[in-house]
């Protein structure tokens, strides 16, 4: 980083390739699922209508889940969407 007249300049090193996701089971004594991330899908594709489908493996008990989708379009535009589901 370089500071020059109150302006900070930063050079980003770019994006790195993903690391394959490893599903790790973590439960407390009562059997509650303690994982903060339950699925990681680095290569999602959309159909011609701009839709996609994913399947996730939830814990054994019903609960609330936050879905966070982030990525970069083919043209380099960052995207981010967050929503919640109840299972």
Can you give the residue ranges of every domain in the chain?
A: 20-87
Q: According to the model, what pLDDT value does residue 43 have?
A: 79
| 65 within 8 A of 83, measured Cβ to Cβ | no
pLDDT category, 64, cuts 50, 70, 90? confident
CA distances from 64 to 53, 67, 72 (A): 19, 10, 27
What phi-psi label fits residue 6: left (phi over 0), alpha (psi between -120 and 50 degrees) or beta?
left
> pTM for this one?
0.56
pLDDT digits (tens, 9 = 90+) for 3-52: 557 787 778 777 777 677 776 777 777 777 777 777 888 778 888 998 88
Is pLDDT at 82 greater than 90 in this prediction? Answer: yes
Is pLDDT at 56 greater than 90 in this prediction? Answer: no
């Amino acid at each position: 980083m370089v500071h020059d007249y109150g302006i900070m300049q930063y050079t980003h090193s770019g994006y790195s390739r993903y690391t394959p996701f490893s599903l790790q089971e973590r439960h407390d004594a009562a059997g509650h699922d303690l994982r903060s991330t339950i699925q990681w899908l680095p290569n999602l594709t959309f159909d011609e209508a701009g839709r996609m489908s994913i399947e996730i493996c939830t814990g054994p008990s019903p609960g609330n889940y936050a879905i966070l989708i982030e990525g970069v379009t083919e043209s380099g535009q960052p995207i981010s969407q967050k929503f919640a589901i109840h299972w």
